[in-house]
Amino acid sequence: MNDPMIGRRSLLRGAGGLAALAALPSLSACGTGTSRAASGGGKGGSKTVIVRDSGGAFGEALQKAVYTPFTKETGISVQVTNLQGTQMLAQIKQGRPQFDLINNSMMDHAKFVGQGALETLDLDRIKSLKSAKLPEHLVTDHSVAASFYAQCMAYRTDAFGGRKPQSWADFWDTKAFKGARSMCNPEADLPELEFALMADGVPMDKLYPLDVDRAFKVLTRLRSDVKKFWDSGPLPGMLLSRQEVTMSTVWHGRLADLLKQGVPVAAQLNGARRQYQGFGIAKGAAHVDAAYQLIDYSLRPEVLANLATAYPTNPASPVAYTKITDEVRNKLAGAPQYYDKGFDADLDWWIKNEAAVTKRWLEWARG
């Protein structure tokens, strides 16, 4: 799975699953994933940093906007691996990680911290934190956020006679907004309990702790209208473009390709759920200094802006948006006019409850 939004799914569900996995023998025989090295000249080409990222189109954008210019500036070669979470943990537990820097979700970083798998960061070595002006909650002792993705609703603009759904209550209203729906399977992302609660009138700033019983009651009201629970990033767009559904939850960045193809779709960012991804240094990393230098470079507002221009990801730095063209910025969920319409997923709540909620969701979906 080479999708930037699904790095968190490369790990077992819940901290308990990680603990059990970490006790297993080495998984290095599973392979180290695909690798690529940054090209370009620069000083001191013998220096290296090995980064784990999720690959795919996002990995290509990282190569273009971050790794290659970093190498040209510093002379540090960037090698990339697409290891899955279980493989990373096994290597770290053996004290021989074949990577230095981990680009992954902040939720997975938090789970790794619980396994003692990340180095404690010396934030004074990340000079760009000052210029990036990251919100305090996105800078932890073991990881720093670089970007986020937004999960929201998408709808066909030709389906409702010119009317536009404005809220999750509209998503649930299949009389006023007719047609089938699609929502995500936990194989794709966190169960969408927050959306159900907002559809039932819970204010966005009062969602947590989630009322799980209430959320499942609301989900049940829509269950018969859900044609497909999507388990991969492209699927919502396929269902919308084939007119199999009129509305779906979706990773917002996925709509860019549909719009380029002329598919009549739009996003509604009211009540969008944000999840952040960023950097952590593997415990026992061999190239710690180079890892710090790459983090520092990656968090420069102008570099984050370049990455957002190359791929529809949303910088965690508010300063980066001032360095993006109006055309690009207005298509991002993180643009100033959209940001306050969404909310951050409560990672502490989800880490404690994800396994139980996912188990219940799977039982609920089977009927």
CB distance 196 to 262 below 8 Å: no
Q: What percent of the chain is modeled with pLDDT above 70?
A: 87
Q: Which of 99, 117, 143, 144 has its CA nearest to residue 287?
A: 99
CA 113/CA 115 separation, integer angstroms:
5
> pLDDT band for position 367 (50/70/90)?
confident
CB distance 146 to 54 below 8 Å: no
Res 44 pLDDT > 50: no
pLDDT value, residue 11: 43
Buried b (16+ CB within 10 A) or exposed e, 214-238: ebbebbeebeebbebbbeebebbbb
CB distance 301 to 295 below 8 Å: no
Q: What percent of the chain is modeled with pLDDT above 90?
A: 83
Q: What is the DSSP letter of 66?
A: I
Mean pLDDT over 165-180 rounds to 98
CA 285/CA 172 separation, integer angstroms:
48
Half-sphere exposure of 45 (CA within 13 A, CB side): 8
pLDDT value, residue 204: 97
244-270 pLDDT tens trace: 999 999 999 999 889 989 999 999 999
Q: What is the pTM of this model?
A: 0.87
Q: Which of 122, 89, 85 has its CA nearest to residue 105?
A: 85
Buried b (16+ CB within 10 A) or exposed e, 153-170: bbbbeebbeeeebeebeb
Beta strands 314-315 and 144-156 are antiparallel
pLDDT value, residue 290: 97
CB distance 191 to 200 below 8 Å: no
Res 67 pLDDT > 60: yes
Mean pLDDT over 141-162 rounds to 97
Token pair belonging to 243: 């007119």
CA 199/CA 197 separation, integer angstroms:
5
- Architecture per CATH, domain 150-274+347-366, reads as 3-Layer(aba) Sandwich (3.40)
E-assigned strand segments in the chain: 35-37, 48-52, 77-81, 101-105, 144-156, 181-184, 226-230, 247-251, 265-281, 314-315, 343-344
Q: Which of 54-63, 92-101, 280-289 has the lowest mean pLDDT?
A: 54-63
For residue 320, the SS3 value is helix
CA 294/CA 279 separation, integer angstroms:
10
User: Does 4-148+275-343 carry CATH code 3.90.1150.200?
Assistant: no
222-241 pLDDT tens trace: 999 999 999 999 999 999 99
E-assigned strand segments in 240-345: 247-251, 265-281, 314-315, 343-344
Q: Which of 32-46, 133-147, 188-202 has the lowest mean pLDDT?
A: 32-46
pLDDT value, residue 256: 87
335-352 pLDDT tens trace: 999 999 999 999 999 999
CA 181/CA 246 separation, integer angstroms:
6
Contacts of 322 (CB under 8 A, 6+ apart): 301
Phi, psi for 195 (deg, rounded to 5): -65, -40
Buried b (16+ CB within 10 A) or exposed e, 70-99: bbeebebbbbbbbbbbbbbbbbbbeeebbb
Q: What is the mean pLDDT of the chain?
A: 89
Res 167 pLDDT > 70: yes
The residues with which 333 forms a beta bridge, in sequence order, are none
Q: Would the CATH topology of 4-148+275-343 be identical to that of 150-274+347-366?
A: yes
Break the chain into its structural domains and give their ranges: 4-148+275-343, 150-274+347-366
